Amino acid sequence: MVGVIRWAPCPRVRCGAPPAAAFAHVRGGPLRPEICGIAFICDVPGGAEVHVEVAGLPPYRPAGDGRPPVGPHGFHLHEFGDCAVGDPAEPFKAAGEHWNPGGRLHGDHAGDFPVLFSNDGYACMTFFTNRFRTADAIGKAIIVHENPDDYRTQPAGASGKRLACGIVRPARWFC
């Protein structure tokens, strides 16, 4: 289903006010303009659920000849909601570093997400985090990187170039 973006709604609340929700339209930059996708963040008991769907990712290339692999793709929440391209060779630097409100070492940042595994350019993933609530993510940037995050290298996990960016905004729909 390359190029088709579907979304799965966040879990429904049986009573009371609907949970907070946010989204980010993820768009490729100059290094991979064909990337497009969407990420949803929704409050659930004990934290937040993140759902992402992205198409147009580059094909996997294993590491070799001194080159890092391409994919699986690092996927993070960055400090600033700024997707300005800036330098086309190093785009989206205005988004800052991984969001890390606790001042922890890399691999334990609130903005460290699981890597995206591409299937012929398409990735879809849903995960839970207890590191933040939806309101905390609003105004920050979602970034898709070229290389996998190793969750060890400081400060950013050797995730490589930033391929796509999206700003997290409040959603006007109910989960």
CB count within 10 Å of CB 34 equals 14
1, part of any domain: no
Select from 122, 117, 110, 119 the least CA-distant residue to 41.
Answer: 110
Q: Report DSSP state, residue 18.
A: P
Select from 119, 121, 137 the least CA-distant residue to 50.
Answer: 137
110, part of any domain: yes
Tens-place pLDDT, residues 125-174: 999 999 999 999 999 999 999 999 888 877 776 889 999 999 999 987 54
Secondary structure of 37-72 in the HEC alphabet?
EEEEEEEECCEEEEEEEEECCCCCECCECCECCECC
**Total structural domains within the chain:** 1
Tens-place pLDDT, residues 25-50: 999 999 999 999 999 999 999 999 99
Q: Where is pLDDT greater, at 158 or 91? A: 91
2, part of any domain: no
153, part of any domain: yes
Domain extent, residue 56, equals: 22-61+70-170
- Per-residue pLDDT band for 95 (boundaries 50, 70, 90) equals very high
The CA-to-CA distance between both ends of the chain, in Å, stands at 24
CATH classification of the domain holding 26: 2.60.40.200
104, part of any domain: yes
7, part of any domain: no
14, part of any domain: no
